[in-house]
Structure 1
Amino acid sequence: PALASPFEPREPPPPWPFQQSSFFDGWFLRLVDHENKFSFCLILGSLREHGKPCTRASGGYSSHFVGISYLDSKGKTHTYNFFPDPRAVSIDANGAPPVRRPSRSTPPNFRWSAAGVGELLVQPESGTLEFSVPEASVKAKFHGRIPWSRSRPNKDGPEGWLAGTGLLPLHYFVHSFGSAAEYEFEAKHDKAEKCSGSGRLHMECNYGDMFPHAWVWGQGCSRPPTMATHLGDGSIGSGDIPADFQQLSFVLTGGQFRIGPLTSQAWVIALRWGDEEWNFRTTDLDEVTTLQLSRKARAIRLRALSRCKTRLLEVRDVLVAPEHSFGKPIAVPTHKGWSTSPGCVESYNAAASFRCYHKEHGQWQLILEKQVPLAAMEFGGAYQST
């Protein structure tokens, strides 16, 4: 069968001899609906645990995870962890079992399903999701895409030059900064909440060994532009629209990441607006200064300077005012299975503020200043105690 992008499922590699090795593949999809001040997230994960039985139908994995989170009308994030029966899970790519090394060439075309729970279907230009766990149910259809790279949408991603080196035990790929989506959501607790509408759907994936020892992550998109055209096919056309009226999408992640034999602090920050693609990677020798990183203060403040010294970004605030806006811990894959200790915690009610400067004739020019409400903010592992 045809091979596809890193967003597509993959078969786990064989375990290392005499080692308790494990491998996971996971997908994260988050929708933001600014009109209704609503957001939900779907997380799917498959884990091959050492010594545990697995089946070819479930992609060669032994256990699986479905996570659903949402932002309620009072600004609190609710998190639900669900573990479907492994025998009920089926994974296919291009109508066949996943292969070990999907190439970075063609768009993804796959299905992840759990009988009685739900299904995610991703096709080259569209997709659907529908899941129901005891606490909540969600369904959505989406189309269009803002890829990491317009020139190489199914190849380039956050990893940059490290992608093909074999030095990364944990991989990261952003499939879309924002796809046009329509959705229906229902929370089934005592005070049932329902919401439906349209918004922007962010899609990314992780796969590899295990999560890092400590990490933070943030993501969001600004309110829809008032001067731009309708979402249409899901892409943003800038034309002559001033930057301040264009919709900004961002993702950032940082932490104690292992690269080859070394573990060090690493950052990736990416912004997309109009035709602009701004990327900052410490592995590219871009400078990222951590001004504040605090779970207790619920704040991340950064300053990023490009290697060529022509682009400057100030992440002035990714700040959550109310502590109650964080949900309960989300399970993450470990060598001993899925665990919420320490796991990670997220809020979908963060407020992000960005300033972007470009150096012209030796002077810094402010080219964009943007506020991003309903942003996601995540503290994982040891960073939950900062």
Structure 2
Amino acid sequence: MDCYLVMSCLSRQQIPPIPKVLASLLHRNHCTKNNTYKLYSSNVVCLAKDLNVTVRNGPVIKNPDDKSPPHFTWQTPFGLFTQTNNITTFHFDFGKYIFRGRIGPPVPWGPNGEGPEGWIDKLPFIPLHWFVFSLRSPVIQYELLNVQTGHRIERTNGVVHMEKNWGNSFPKGWIWSQGVSSHDNISFALSGGLVSLGEITTTQFLIGYRNLAKNLNLNYRPGNAKFSATHNGCVGWFKIKVYGLLHEIHLSASADLSTFSDCLYGPEITGFRQACIESYDAIINITVFKREFLSLKKIDSQIIKLSALEFGGTYTCDKRCKKGES
């Protein structure tokens, strides 16, 4: 039996070399309940001229606003991705596999279209932007067909995390992690690394944590928090402390090295090349403290299993997926 995890659709429209448009399906073979296995990717690519993006069945003539619900179609010779009335539909042919399904309404990061960056995403000089469209959309239905064997998997449950990036290029080194606890309405997402502004390079992060049962809706970014982070891509762990005005978050993430993929494709200004590794078997430990006068009071502690953990660029082990200069 095969176990399948995630699909990503990426597109760039700058100068050569190719590929400029890429879709990846990450999967694990012979997945069992108590064991973990390495991630593999199946990829399909095409030229930028073969990508067609429409908004409300017409050409794209302006950037979207923050508040309006998305209504667009992303189409290539190998696949289709649509967003209409808060329902996502997709159908992709990866050669050996066909993956299609429908996803329900989003659970947004914040009100009025706010994403992890908050007001920062309005700054024109930021080299890369990160937006989370949905923290935990419900799966309506999905189907995955192994064309070679005829084996078919059909399901009607699960949760889906959806996000996007845009800008000039990814950082020289970065970490991304995300996870949900379906039964407890707990979720988190974080991204960060080496951010270059002109001649200055700093380490910055964006992080959000949700625990509805404890009324915790925490969002931190440069400007409202300080960060202290360490990482080791050769061991497969990452730790960060977030110092906010009213709260602190201590988060550690780790995954067995055997569960990580080989280098996966990541975007550069010239196109896509192998730039990062991922595991979807990470164990996340999150502790939240509330500031009380001169002390800290622990108000939440959670373990979120089967989370995503990605090391990219120079943050991979021995820089084996180091990005070229953009």
Answer yes or no: same fold by TM over 0.5: yes
Whether 1:98 and 2:36 are equivalent positions in the alignment is no
Which has the higher relative contact order, 1 or 2, with Cα contacts under 8 A spaced 6 or more apart? Answer: 1
Counterpart of 2:322?
A: none
Whether 1:179 and 2:134 are equivalent positions in the alignment is no
The CA distance in 2 between the partners of 1:187 and 1:249, in whole Å, is 31
Answer yes or no: is the 8 Å Cα contact 1:81–1:331 preserved in 2: no
> How far apart are 1:279 and its partner, in Å?
1.2
> How far apart are 1:87 and its partner, in Å?
4.7
> How far apart are 1:349 and its partner, in Å?
1.1
Q: Assess, with a 3 A threshold, how the Cα gap between structure 1 residues 284 and 167 changes in structure 2: closer, same or farther.
A: same
The CA distance in 2 between the partners of 1:261 and 1:101, in whole Å, is 29
Answer yes or no: is the 8 Å Cα contact 1:65–1:84 preserved in 2: yes
Question: 2:217 is aligned with what amino acid?
Answer: E
Give the aligned length. Answer: 310
> How far apart are 1:132 and its partner, in Å?
1.6
The CA distance in 2 between the partners of 1:191 and 1:364, in whole Å, is 57
Whether 1:43 and 2:8 are equivalent positions in the alignment is yes
Counterpart of 1:65?
A: 22
Q: Within 5 Å, give how 1:345-364 maps onto structure 2.
A: 345-360=277-292, 363-364=295-296
Counterpart of 1:239?
A: none
> How far apart are 1:362 and its partner, in Å?
5.2
Post-superposition Cα deviations, 1:193-237, rounded to whole Å, max 9, x if no partner, equal 846341111000011111111101001111x22xxxxxxxxxxxx
Counterpart of 1:284?
A: 223
Whether 1:332 and 2:266 are equivalent positions in the alignment is yes
Which segment is superposed worse, 268-277 or 83-92? 83-92
> How far apart are 1:37 and its partner, in Å?
11
Q: Within 5 Å, give how 1:74-89 maps onto structure 2.
A: 74-89=36-51
The CA distance in 2 between the partners of 1:96 and 1:294, in whole Å, is 46
Q: Assess, with a 3 A threshold, how the Cα gap between structure 1 residues 92 and 215 changes in structure 2: closer, same or farther.
A: same
Answer yes or no: is the 8 Å Cα contact 1:76–1:349 preserved in 2: no
> How far apart are 1:188 and its partner, in Å?
5.5
Q: Assess, with a 3 A threshold, how the Cα gap between structure 1 residues 106 and 314 changes in structure 2: closer, same or farther.
A: same
Question: 2:161 is aligned with what amino acid?
Answer: H
Whether 1:258 and 2:196 are equivalent positions in the alignment is yes
Q: Within 5 Å, give how 1:1-386 maps onto structure 2.
A: 40-50=5-15, 63-72=20-29, 73=31, 74-115=36-77, 117-149=78-110, 151-152=111-112, 154=113, 156-181=114-139, 182-187=141-146, 194=153, 196-222=155-181, 224-225=182-183, 246-259=184-197, 262-274=200-212, 275-281=215-221, 283-290=222-229, 292-306=230-244, 308=245, 310-315=246-251, 317-321=252-256, 323-340=257-274, 343-360=275-292, 363-385=295-317
Q: Assess, with a 3 A threshold, how the Cα gap between structure 1 residues 264 and 82 changes in structure 2: closer, same or farther.
A: same
Identity over aligned pairs, percent:
22
The CA distance in 1 between the partners of 2:260 and 2:189, in whole Å, is 19
Counterpart of 1:7?
A: none
> How far apart are 1:86 and its partner, in Å?
4.3
Question: 2:258 is aligned with what amino acid?
Answer: H
TM-score where L is the length of structure 2: 0.86
Answer yes or no: is the 8 Å Cα contact 2:2–2:27 preserved in 1: no
The CA distance in 2 between the partners of 1:272 and 1:37, in whole Å, is 31
The CA distance in 1 between the partners of 2:154 and 2:253, in whole Å, is 26
The CA distance in 1 between the partners of 2:22 and 2:123, in whole Å, is 29
Give unmatched runs, 5+ long, in structure 1. Answer: 1-35, 53-60, 226-245
Structure 1 or 2: larger strand share? 2
Q: Assess, with a 3 A threshold, how the Cα gap between structure 1 residues 97 and 160 changes in structure 2: closer, same or farther.
A: same
Q: Assess, with a 3 A threshold, how the Cα gap between structure 1 residues 37 and 134 changes in structure 2: closer, same or farther.
A: closer
> How far apart are 1:88 and its partner, in Å?
3.8
Answer yes or no: is the 8 Å Cα contact 1:47–1:63 preserved in 2: yes
Question: 2:188 is aligned with what amino acid?
Answer: F
Answer yes or no: is the 8 Å Cα contact 1:134–1:188 preserved in 2: yes
Question: 1:174 is aligned with what amino acid?
Answer: V
Post-superposition Cα deviations, 1:10-38, rounded to whole Å, max 9, x if no partner, equal xxxxxxxxxxxxxxxxxxxxxxxxxx995
Question: 2:193 is aligned with what amino acid?
Answer: G
> How far apart are 1:112 and its partner, in Å?
0.6
Question: 1:212 is aligned with what amino acid?
Answer: P
